[in-house]
Structure 1
Amino acid sequence: MAETRTEPVVVIGLGRFGTALALELVSRGTEVLGIDHRHKVVQALSGRLPHVITADSTDIEALRQLGIAEFHRAVVAIGTDIQASILTTSLLSELGIPDIWAKAISSQHSNILTRVGAHHVVAPEHDMGERVAHLLSGRILDYVEVDADFAVIKTTPPRDIVGVPLRESRARSKWGVTVVAVKPQAALPGGAPRTFTYATPDTVLAYGDLILVVGTVDNVERFATSD
């Protein structure tokens, strides 16, 4: 296993989301304690997660006995049992966990989790649906929303900015976006691998190049649908 470089994480709720998260963290060298109230689930994961325990996360004494208060980060990945999700989050807050992440299945659930102590709330189904919707429109090949109204997209350049240095392309004045990196379509001299490199004012784009573009959500979408 890779050398651990981050503080351990407790993941509570080992459904599809929690299991995937826990396994990915372990693969990246993070020590993980997995907790689920279903003994069969814990048994099935015992060979894949180094530390996995059957426990009731809605029992604060059980959490104390497991030493959960010593963790800096915790993830409440409980899915369909909203009451258990909210109570577990509240108990983690009561134990003083400084960094609590929680999974929500609705906007109302998200609001309650925030009120009872979650520092970060994620909605995997909603976020993935939104991301796919962006990918199905225009030339967007990948989409990451980094703030409430700011995104990074991977796309190909519209014809208006092909063949001229970026400083002459008017990308920022016309669309309000910035091209930050480019991966050329054409083969590089000597067979060097094609990888993303930082774009400069002198960068000249070609049809088929892949570019990373940042800007507000509306602006990057407008850029990706232009021609």
Structure 2
Amino acid sequence: MADRYTQTHASRSATTPKRSGAGDGVLVVGLGRFGSALAATLDRLGQDVLAVERNATLAQQWAGRIPLVEADATNPEALEQLGARDFPVAVVGVGSSLEASVLITGNLVDMGTPQIWAKAVSAEHGRILQRIGAHHVVFPEADAGNRVAHLVSGKLMDYIEVEDGFTIVKMRPPKEMQGFTVEQSKVRTRYGVTVIGVKPPGQEFIYATPQTRISANDLLVVSGHSELLERFAARP
């Protein structure tokens, strides 16, 4: 294991852009669907990212596409050798193995990683991760299912729940708004939601003002509590 790790780490040093220094970057552990999408997006956005994957087949699939190390992150010595302490943010994308997820998260907690994001596949899994010290627990499958449920059951075109029910949606304007300004439609008074932005056809989104006039073909970005938004979106 030590010889294999040393060889992989040496390969990474020759191909990975030099980090700008300690205290920056994101460590992503696990290259399943969630971890690989996260790591690839961070890399595309120009973020300093390093992926860690112990499965040789997955590591080979992503070799040369993103900076990565083939190593077993359940082993604290492997994390130490790849410089995990230098990363202020770590994401544990391992979800299929509860034991591996907990061990990796625990290793990062012991290292004092300032921000640890961990994927959970169940409420029980999430509670364990929080108890051992994960700062943020995410439920990709549950969040995606919740979001899609809102989209397929109504007129919403996009749905993002921020926290404690506060939600932002993209939608078409109800008929009662069409042809009127935001002020004239009185949606905040009547429905308790706020029109944040408007996208006229063929144009960019603009911040809404009380004088912004809404047409039938506009797209609206609206915020408010999820229940209020559902009622507002149900308007004909």
Per the TM superposition, whether the score is higher than 0.5 is yes
Report the counterpart of residue 208 of structure 1 in structure 2. Answer: 217
**Is residue 94 of structure 1 aligned with residue 94 of structure 2?**
no
Unaligned runs of 5+ in 2: 1-18
In structure 1, what is the equivalent of residue 31 of structure 2? 14
Output the TM-score relative to the length of structure 2.
Answer: 0.88
Aligned AA for 1:113? L
User: Aligned residue for 1:190?
Assistant: none
Q: Secondary structure at the match of 1:141?
A: strand
Q: Distance in 1 between matches of 2:167 and 2:206?
A: 19
- 1:174 Cα offset (Å): 1.1
1:28-76 deviation digits (Å, cap 9, x = unpaired): 1012111111122212211211x21121111112211221111100000
Partner SS for 2:232: helix
Calculate the TM-score normalised by the size of structure 1: 0.91
Preserved CA contact (<8 Å) 1:137 1:225: no
Structure with greater helix share of residues: 2
| Aligned twin of 1:189 | none
The separation in 1 between residues aligned to 2:215 and 2:108, in whole angstroms, is: 52
Distance (whole Å) between structure 1 residues aligned to residue 171 and residue 60 of structure 2: 44
Question: Comparing 54-63 with 98-107, which one deviates more in the overlay?
Answer: 54-63
Picking from 6, 26, 35, the partner of 2:52 is 35
* Gapped regions of structure 1 (runs ≥ 5): 186-192
Q: Counterpart of 1:172?
A: 188
Aligned residues: 218
Aligned partner of 1:224 in structure 2 is: 233
Alignment of 1:52 with 2:61, yes or no, is no
Matched, 1:113 2:129: yes
Map 1:112-151; keep pairs closer than 5 Å.
112-151=128-167
Identity level (%): 45
Q: CA RMSD in A?
A: 1.9
